[in-house]
Structure 1
């Protein structure tokens, strides 16, 4: 009877022949960029009869991208293999979630998984509503692939950890392999649940292709780094302080730029390119409306953001050389040409405005001598009664042969050391 059932299962099962393996390496914190990278890998594998191999060596990551990755793998038309690798690596928290959601879960011999209790603001979450939801979800996912659902519960409620041999013994994973080649040999001929269909996986001499992070994913990964986030926040605070003390608009604009950029790490990767384009355009327009007050510095930053945004808005395959079928390709090409034309138009206009302003008055002369520069009197100033003025957003001690009222427009006649000699222009 058992033989008959086995023959029936084989007769009604399908085979998936993988001629290529698309490798995604997750070495750091799981974030929106990870989800985007896995999405691209699945798309490439679907177009080229491949499977996706996720190499995990991560302390964990954000909850929303992790749940999106689990859902993406569950609906994948191609097999996705999770592998905690290399030796002596770990896949904790979000890494364990992802591993348990793959069609085939594997570990290198001296690796560890577990510690899945969610953390919010550095504090472990103990709210039953959240914990029960995650427990039920991870148990369901694990059991759907015929694995031990009890571990899914215990790694959340008790933060237990398992090594490779123990995980294999209790059916938490499917394979222990010493390397990628060993793994591919062991999974050849295995049966996986692919879109609720028992499917035999055939892997013979596949071509291994690495799916590297795209420009947008790399940028978002860089912005999500805790050290970089701290540096950006500190710089933004210092610039805001400088803007408050000096009243210089460039310092305020730079601080706002850093604050906005620091928030890009929480955006879905697909929207990051659009956010960069919008921010770049806003900065360029702000520079123009300010009459090029920062001599093109703000507009230059905006132009850089526009370039990065435009490059980020297109599939990484366009620039990495990967062959992938895209329907209506001419629309993407047309959009690229239009965006490049707009960008070049912006840059030409910026250069034109900068040249006009520089011809009117060389910035180097203004910054080195201040002679002829205009500002505002902060105090009442007169013969024998020095006071302070604001020129280019900075405070200067000044004297005048003519009485100058507080709030009047002034012009710098000459500079002697750190004291300006001024005259009234308008009051």
Structure 2
């Protein structure tokens, strides 16, 4: 009796091995995973590295698509171009999803949305206002503005070449006059492919859609597909914190003060070490953020005044002047009277 039972088990195992479709879970596991990541805030180099890392993970896991959730007021044009190039060069379809409710694809975010192989927006989101401005939000010269707008419009026409003529005209208006539209308007005109309430709704609507990736057409099977989120790494989180203007200024202030303490009371090393580290970290933030260099000049002048007061005491006159200069620099360091509602550059 036992031998007969073993025989039946062996026969069933052979059948399952020869006919994989007989497995009850085969259909459930057939869909390749979808990788997700999120861009939130003004564009920084950290986001570009995050995207590259997510693409590598997607390739290693055999993902069928990458969903980039986007909420940005914009960023620097050179960085935007690198992100666009990276998306267009991806061997895996990249779907740009402007989300959650209340999010925007402002300025450079407009170009990133157009660069996606497919695009979607959540309800109550906006896209547009892609007129170029200077690094601190100020207007740029007429000749330079004409050149930059011409390049941006050519890029937009290339990215939206498969979209209706109305969508191309809207993209031009976003760059020429800074026009912005709602999610419903963008979908109706054809600038964006879908409106999705959430990620699950997006995966459901993407089912069966086709994306042109290079010379190939990829058909998506996303409904019920497993989702693999790729959050920012610890180092990326730290660099994003350093790109906060408040943190950058705080590090700058602490660094200057610590270095002055070390100069006033030489012989120790703690204050000098802390000051040097803070200044180095602040330098990264200043390199990423749109800095008003006039304000930075005031901060440097304040440091010089503090140093002179240490070496040649003037009963606090230079210190008071340095404090006033430092406050003036702080007020304009990350601010400009011409900053538009969609921050700085396209």
In the other structure, the counterpart of 1:103 is 117
Structure with more of its chain in strand, by fraction: 1
Question: For residues 240-251 of structure 1, what are the structure 2 equivalents within 5 Å?
Answer: 240-247=259-266, 250=269, 251=271
Asked whether the equivalents of residues 244 and 285 of structure 2 are also in contact (C-alpha less than 8 Å), the reply is no
Corresponding residue SS for 1:218: helix
Per the alignment, in what secondary structure is the counterpart of residue 225 of structure 2? Answer: strand
CA distance in 1, matches of 2:163, 2:217: 10
**Counterpart position of 1:81:** 95
SS in 1 for 2:131: coil
Q: Tell me the secondary structure at the aligned position of residue 130 of structure 2.
A: coil
Instruction: Indicate conservation of the 8 Å contact 1:189/1:202, yes or no.
Output: yes
User: The residue matched to 2:95 in structure 1 has which SS?
Assistant: strand
- Name stretches of at least 5 consecutive residues in structure 2 with no aligned partner: 1-29, 289-310, 312-346
Decide which of 230, 234, 255 is 1:236's aligned counterpart.
Answer: 255
Question: Normalised by the size of structure 1, how large is the TM-score?
Answer: 0.55
Secondary structure at 2:43 match in 1: coil
- Tell me, yes or no, if the aligned pair for 1:19 and 1:204 is still in contact at 8 Å: no
- Tell me which of 44, 48, 57 is aligned to 1:31: 44
Matched with 2:173 is: 154
Matches within 5 A, 1:19-98: 19-50=32-63, 51-98=65-112
Which one has a bigger Cα radius of gyration? 1
Report the Cα distance in structure 2 between the residues aligned to 1:71 and 1:146, rounded to whole angstroms: 23
For residues 281-339 of structure 1, the C-alpha deviation after alignment (integer angstroms, 9 at most, x for no partner) is xxxxxxxxxxxxxxxxxxxxxxxxxxxxxxxxxxxxxxxxxxxxxxxxxxxxxxxxxxx
8 A contact 1:110–1:163 mirrored in 2: yes
Residue 131 (str. 1) matches residue 142 (str. 2)? no
2:270 is the counterpart of 1:256: no
Offset, 1:264: 2.9
1:35 Cα deviation from its structure 2 partner: 0.9
User: Taking structure 2 as the reference length, what is the TM-score of the superposition?
Assistant: 0.67
Q: What SS does structure 2 have at the residue aligned with 1:110?
A: coil
Q: Distance in 2 between matches of 1:144 and 1:48?
A: 30
* Structure 1 equivalent of residue 230 of structure 2: 211
Is structure 2 residue 249 aligned with structure 1 residue 227? no
**Cα separation, 2, equivalents of 1:267 and 1:213:** 20
**Aligned match of 1:181:** 200
Q: Is 2:248–2:285's contact at 8 Å kept on the other side of the alignment?
A: no
1:263 to partner: Cα distance? 2.6
Matches within 5 A, 1:261-340: 261-265=281-285
Residue 207 and residue 255 in structure 1: after superposition, are their counterparts in 2 closer, same or farther (change >3 A)?
Answer: same
Distance (Å, rounded) in 2 between the aligned partners of 1:172 and 1:82: 12
Q: Does 1:190 align with 2:209?
A: yes
Q: Quick one: distance in 2 between partners of 1:146 and 1:211?
A: 34
Q: Which has the higher contact order (CA 8 A, sep 6+)?
A: 2
Shift of 1:172: 0.7
Cα RMSD of the aligned pairs, angstroms, is 2.4
What 5-or-longer segments of structure 1 have no aligned partner? 1-16, 269-377, 379-427
Cα deviation 1:368-392 (Å, max 9, x = unaligned): xxxxxxxxxx9xxxxxxxxxxxxxx
Q: How far apart are residue 145 of structure 1 and its match?
A: 6.3
The SS at the match of 1:155 is: helix
